[in-house]
């Protein structure tokens, strides 16, 4: 199977070695839920799984943007890809020609992988993604592209009121269908904000 490996090896290294801290200050993995007023054509009504990579920079993937494309359509000659019926998700506008895998497991799936929760990893390296397709496709979600924030950019967006923040939840992120998920989470966040 042929696929392009993430060209920004520095980004991969930063992801692997970033430090953890409380999610409230954006120094730990976090789930972002776009607020209703965030009427951006690309990011409106989205949910993102995000991780800091140091120096107040962040990366993440959009978890509720399925495409009509499957791995079987992308790799018609690859048997294991044919067995995965779920769609490939649009993870973001950066490196859309690269395939990433978000997989639930108790330990790292291999080199170039980043931990988001105790049992949730994002695989960035091509060989690791290939092994996930071949052995754990039913426990993974596949993304084309990701979102990248420069230093302070995400913090500024949160201060502008564009996102609700919540702790990442593996079951929520890997829910079989994301239909209605944004509405559910934004409604919950709005009710919680009114109760304060």
Is 152 within 8 Å of 56 (Cβ atoms)? Answer: yes
Tell whether the model's pLDDT for residue 95 goes beyond 60: yes
Phi and psi, residue 78, nearest 5°: -105, 110
Tell whether the model's pLDDT for residue 133 goes beyond 60: yes
61, 36, 67, 59: which is closest to 47 by C-alpha?
Answer: 61
Spatial neighbors of 160 by CB under 8 A, at least 6 apart, are: none
143, 137, 71, 64: which is closest to 100 by C-alpha?
Answer: 143
* pTM listed for this prediction: 0.86
Residue 7's pLDDT band, with cuts at 50, 70 and 90, is: very low
Q: What percent of the chain has pLDDT over 70?
A: 87
């Amino acid at each position: 199977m042929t696929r392009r490996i993430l060209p920004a090896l520095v980004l991969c290294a930063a992801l692997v070695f970033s430090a953890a801290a409380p999610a409230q200050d954006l120094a730990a993995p976090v789930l972002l839920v776009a607020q209703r007023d965030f009427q951006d054509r690309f990011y409106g009504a989205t949910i993102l799984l995000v991780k800091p990579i140091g120096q107040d920079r962040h990366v993440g993937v959009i978890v509720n943007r399925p495409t009509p494309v499957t791995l079987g359509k992308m790799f018609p000659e690859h048997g294991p890809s044919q067995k995965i019926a779920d769609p490939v998700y649009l993870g973001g506008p950066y490196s859309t020609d690269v395939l990433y895998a978000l997989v639930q497991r108790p330990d790292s799936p291999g080199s170039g992988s980043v931990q988001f929760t105790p049992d949730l990893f994002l695989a960035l390296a091509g060989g690791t993604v290939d092994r996930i397709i071949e052995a754990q496709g039913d426990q993974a979600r596949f993304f084309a592209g990701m979102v990248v924030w420069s230093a302070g950019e995400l913090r500024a967006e949160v201060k502008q009121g564009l996102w609700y923040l919540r702790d990442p939840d593996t079951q929520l992120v890997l829910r079989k269908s994301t239909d209605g998920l944004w509405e559910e989470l934004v409604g919950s966040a709005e009710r919680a904000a009114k109760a304060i």
